[in-house]
Amino acid sequence: MDKKILEDIRCCVCGNRDADLFFQKYEKDSFIVVECKNCSFLFIPQYFSRKISYEDYKGEEVLEQVRQGNNWLKMQRHLLRFKFIKKYKPSGDLFDLGTGWGHFLSTGNELGYKVHGIEVSEMPCKYAREELNLPV
Ligand SMILES: [Zn+2]
């Protein structure tokens, strides 16, 4: 694992900041998932979220694109992800930190998970709450 990925790493569940107490659990094309050895929480290190530009989530025209977009197609993609997730977490609570427009959480909701979400961007949060009726 690249040392830069472990710079400023922090487990948001137990507060662990010791880089030696995380190990790489999975690897995807553009990110990795680490496990906190202290509390077993799985997450994508902060290193990757710093690379995201949040400018794309602001305009009214983006909201219109989301409304007109094919939610069904997005949810089919998430269903494929849930095939993987169900191997490790077949039911129960599902917490999505950074819910975005809510399609992932909505898919989890339809599969029977008890969903919870947090989104800092106002427009996606409002969309997820008011148009998808999710607890974000
Ligand atoms: Zn932890």
Rounded distance from Cα 8 to ligand 1 centre (Å): 14
Model confidence at 50, in pLDDT bands (50, 70, 90)? Answer: confident
Rounded distance from Cα 80 to ligand 1 centre (Å): 27
**94, 102 contact by CB (below 8 A):** no
Question: Is 133 a residue whose pLDDT tops 90?
Answer: yes
Rounded distance from Cα 57 to ligand 1 centre (Å): 29
Quick one: pLDDT at residue 53? 65
Between helix 71-88 and helix 103-110 the angle, nearest 10°, is: 60
Mean pLDDT, the chain, rounded, equals: 88
Rounded distance from Cα 65 to ligand 1 centre (Å): 37
Is the pTM higher than 0.75? The answer reads no
Quick one: pLDDT at residue 57? 64
Burial letters for 49-77: b for 16+ Cβ neighbours within 10 Å, e otherwise? eeeeeeeebeeeebbeebeeeebeebbee
